[in-house]
A and B are shown apart, each in its own frame.
Chain A
Amino acid sequence: MPVPAPAPTLAPSLRSRPLTVALIGNPNTGKSTLFNALSGSRTLTGNYPGVTVEKTVGQMQCGDRAVNLVDLPGTYSLAPRSLDEMVAVNVLLGRMADIGTPDVVVCIVDASNIERNLYLVCQVLDLGLPTVLVLNMADVAATRGVTIDAKKLSERLSLPVVVTEAHRHRGIEAVREAILEATARGPLVRPKLFPPAFMAECDTLAEKLAEWGQPQVPYYLRERLLLDVGGYVEGHFLADKSHLLKAWLTEARARLGAAGCKVPAVEARVRYAWVREILDGAVVRPATRPVTASDKFDRVLTHRVAGLVIFALVMLLIFAAISWFAQFFMDAFEAGQGWVSGLVASVLVPGPLRSLVVDGVIAGVGGVLIFLPQILILFFFIALLEDCGYMARAAFLMDRLMTKVGLSGKSFVPMMSSFACAIPGVMAARVIENRRDRLTTILVAPLMSCSARQPVYVLMIGAFIPAMYLGGWLQPLVLFAMTFYGAVVAIPVAWILKKTLLRGETPPFVMELPSYKWPSWRLVFNRVYAQGKEFVQRAGTLIFATSMLIWAAGYFPGDHTQADKLQAKIEKYEADLSDEQKEAVGETHAILGEFKTETQDLKKERPTAAATRGKKIDARLKEISKETDSYLETLNPEQRNYLADSSTKRALDTKLLEGSLLGQFGHAIEPAVKPLGWDWRIGVGVIASFPAREVIVSTLGTIYSLGGDVEADDQGLRSAIRHAEWPDGRKVYNIPVALSVMVFFALCAQCASTLMVIHRETGHWGWPVFTFTYMTLLAYGAAFVTYRLALLLGM
């Protein structure tokens, strides 16, 4: 049993230094609630170097002492099996330079489940640091008939013990006082748990390590070296002499086994024996565990039929919320963006500055904000489900399904969310503790068909998939097939990733199914706020920078003087003409467009037409030219100028885009995209849509001189791409090309925002680069195969 060491008197200079306090506990103990209650919103988040573990540090006051509170990831044990799990150990041992040695460890436990929770406490005490024990969820324990004598526990453990109900903000002040008390008490003496044989090996190990050039290895790490067979410490401790260490450890473990102290079983045995001893008489539990309301809930929520139905409904609700409810906010953002752009346009004359502000800056900011509603809504649900205990059940219910591709049930919610948008989906992968599972989930999430792909499908299907087949059902059927295509491809991709790049031992699915409880709204909203803020600050800047870059590539190096002059004139007409007059111009423009394509088709047919047909064509051409004149006559001179200038402006925009860096690049890659049946225009569209897939629609609109503000279901755009030709007069688009474009967009990584978020989540540029590469190759290959197959089938 630990006894306090003589309290060292602190030097006056140390009294003013901020204290470093580490907060640790099992998952589902209310650790985040306590963290928020203690530090409020004054938190900084980041990543520990080289790992995907989030670093959260909050600032608080304990009496007159400033405290930096470090929130460690929830864990059942301090036996690190991976670099990620090593982070907590390194922080506690003061091996993280940016944090320093913690002055106090606050160990939070679920009072209603104290026995298992004390296992981690027992490991923490082995560190010898001043420690505070927080018994949270005291109310839940009471309803279960568990009585805890905190005073007795405190005496037995020789450390301050505080009883709290963190979600009700009860006992928070006492935690602050206990932190100061623990600081004053100073370091603990470690409980002597292990048999003498083990302690002797531990001492010998210290000598050995000194021999190998590591004289100052903390006791806790030596303990871990002996206990963790194939653990992280063993493999990464000594770079050059690790074979010597491993050989020695194997011998030592064999010696311990012979002495009746079998590794690793000895650790659980001695710690749980210690826990029993500590709890004996201090905690009284009813002889039989009463059936709680939570248990009854669970029976329904994990029921063979009802459980799955409820789960499907919950997921449907989340999905509907992020795809439709978010749409409402996204439309509002877009309207706001349009309004601001209009405002800027009324102040700035057409020119480079206006283009920079409207098409670069405002569009870039809009491109960041547009994702916020989905992120906030998804994280609202995730925080809610996690806090009330359903998230663990969701993983429990879906685990069987996800193990088929080598993942676990925890990957389900992130994957499903990616059907609305990969960005919140990738961020949601944080709920997966295992690094390899998390990375696999992140890497395949962008394959799920997000809402940005819809415009591409709508455009291509509307233009090329004949509406009359299957009683009008062919078009929706193709749309449906395209929507699930990515998910189907994701299955083998995830499987291959888990077999190759991210292969490794299957992580255990040994986890607690926590009791259900009412969620803490404060915690939920805190998390949603933190998530949104982080996205805007971290990923947002990168997304913004990308859209600025693409804007510049599409704007330079062309001379925009003429286009700007025309734009100024057009704006003047638009101000002068009434709405009806403008509408009339629009209608005339549409009809003239149809005439133009008809004329082209007829003129092409004319030289080879038979005599009678030739006459008919000539008659029709005459008719068209007459009708054109009569349409134009209905317009007044200003309307006619407006029509003419708009057409010239659109043609000019096409030239400018073709001459821009983007257009040049599109031309340059034409040989590469030709095997897919594409011309340079689609190439430009693909490059321009790198920031976001849906941009291809407006790019094609500009390329086909229809203006950049066309919609995916615009008749003019459909007609333009149907009539687009190669220089030799063959049609560019046919069903095989339309299919190849759709397949490409289904699988490609044309979403800079997703790539930036992957960078943010993995903390490394390698992963977004990998994602982009594999998805582009996959998309290219699949588009090629689709194109060739469709040609072979004679489509």
Chain B
Amino acid sequence: MKTLDQLAVGERGQIVEIVGDDNIAMRLMEMGLIDGEEIEYIGAAPLGDPREYLVRGYHLSLRQTEARRVQIQ
């Protein structure tokens, strides 16, 4: 399964599932990353991490390790 950190800049994906039930998983879901939602990769910070995404009409910052928790298609 493809994960969110594998998207290319400008590419979109549809969220399938968030892996795990820990704080990070819960925070991701609270921020609106739930199954069926569209998400777009805007670009990475100058030092390569974290990354910026567009979801539900707002900009979201995620570290690569956090983006890896989001399965997409």
**Using a CB–CB distance below 8 Å, which chain A residues touch chain B?**
76-77, 79, 81, 112-113, 115-116, 119, 228-230, 263-265, 267-269, 272, 285, 289, 298, 302-305, 307-308, 392, 396-401, 403, 409, 505, 507-515
Contact = CB atoms under 8 A, between A and B. Distances in A.
Interface in B18-51: 18, 21-32, 34-35, 43, 45-50
Given A116-B31, A228-B26, A298-B59, 6 more contacts: A81-B26, A268-B34, A289-B57, A400-B50, A508-B24, A510-B24
A116 B23 contact: no
Contacts of B27: 76-77, 508, 510
A257 to B, nearest CB: 10
Contact of B32 (A115, A392, A511, A515): A115
B61 A392 contact: yes
Contacts of B61: 392, 396, 509-513
B52 A396 contact: yes
B45 A272 contact: no
B31 to A, nearest CB: 6
B52 A397 contact: no
B63 interface: yes
Contacts of A228: 26
A304 B49 CA distance: 11
B45 A267 contact: no
A397 B29 contact: no
A72 to B, nearest CB: 17
B29 A267 contact: yes
Contacts of A509: 50, 61-63, 66
27 contacts: A76-B27, A76-B30, A76-B31, A77-B30, A116-B31, A116-B56, A228-B26, A264-B26, A264-B29, A265-B34, A272-B32, A302-B43, A396-B45, A397-B47, A400-B49, A400-B50, A409-B50, A507-B23, A508-B24, A508-B66, A510-B24, A510-B28, A510-B60, A510-B66, A512-B58, A512-B60, A513-B60
A501 B22 CA distance: 22
Nearest to A399: B50
Output the residue of A269, A308, A392, A511 with the most chain B CB within 10 A: A511
Contacts of A268: 29-30, 32, 34
B21 A399 contact: no
A285 B47 contact: no
A269 B66 CA distance: 19
Contacts of B47: 397-401
B7 interface: no
A263 B54 CA distance: 26
Nearest to A75: B30
Given A508-B24, A510-B24, A510-B60, A302 B52 contact: yes
Nearest to B48: A400
A514 B45 CA distance: 15
A264 B21 contact: yes
Contacts of A272: 32, 34
A505 B24 CA distance: 10
A230 B47 CA distance: 33
Contacts of A230: 22-23
A12 B18 CA distance: 53
